[in-house]
Amino acid sequence: MNKYIYILLIFFVSCNKGNNLECLYEAKNMTIDYDVMLNNKSFNSKSFLDIDGTRFYHSSIYDSIKSSNYLPKGKITLFSVEGKEAKIDFNKIILAQILSSKIAKNNNYLILNKPQILTQGIIKFKRKDNKNIVITTSEKYPVTINNEICN
């Protein structure tokens, strides 16, 4: 009997090993500060940031970033003409500006530090109803939230 429990335990641990782990943060006021060393390798196809159930993924296509729940990654392709592409690099300030504008469009939140977003790329916000904000990220997402890093 003991041998079967041990086998089941090994099976359970090995099945969960491949899952993409998530990190959870919950507080009334949130501070989001992306890693200053962001680059194209900072995000993969499974990287995400979820704020109160609204999930943001990453894309390098400008139209996706502009029109939906995508945030920039790597060089952003603005447009393509005759096989040539116009691209721009992004950094944590651009990322913070885009994310804060998407947060502000949802009328449930107040942005608390607009000048700091433009100068340092740090977002501070809270819900208008003063309820807790729940943020979930993929494992190793390159961000510090309320002074905590998910590894």
pLDDT of residue 120: 95
pLDDT of residue 5: 39
Residue 112 or residue 139, greater confidence: 112
Q: 108 with 95: CB under 8 angstroms? A: no
Secondary structure in 3-state letters for 8-31: HHHHHHHHHHCCCCEEEEEECEEE
Question: Averaged over 59-78, what is the pLDDT?
Answer: 86
Residue 61 binned pLDDT confidence (cut-offs 50, 70, 90): confident
What does the alpha-carbon distance between residue 6 and residue 3 come to, in Å, rounded to a whole number? 5
Q: What's the Cα-to-Cα distance from 147 to each of 30, 73, 117, rounded to whole Å?
A: 10, 23, 16
What does the alpha-carbon distance between residue 135 and residue 23 come to, in Å, rounded to a whole number? 8
What does the alpha-carbon distance between residue 110 and residue 126 come to, in Å, rounded to a whole number? 5
18: its two tokens: 């491949």
pLDDT of residue 119: 95
Runs of H (alpha helix) within 54-113 = 62-67, 92-105
pTM recorded for the entire structure: 0.80
Q: What is the mean pLDDT of the chain?
A: 83
Question: ∠ at Cα 116 (68, 138), nearest 5°?
Answer: 45
Q: 56 with 70: CB under 8 angstroms? A: yes
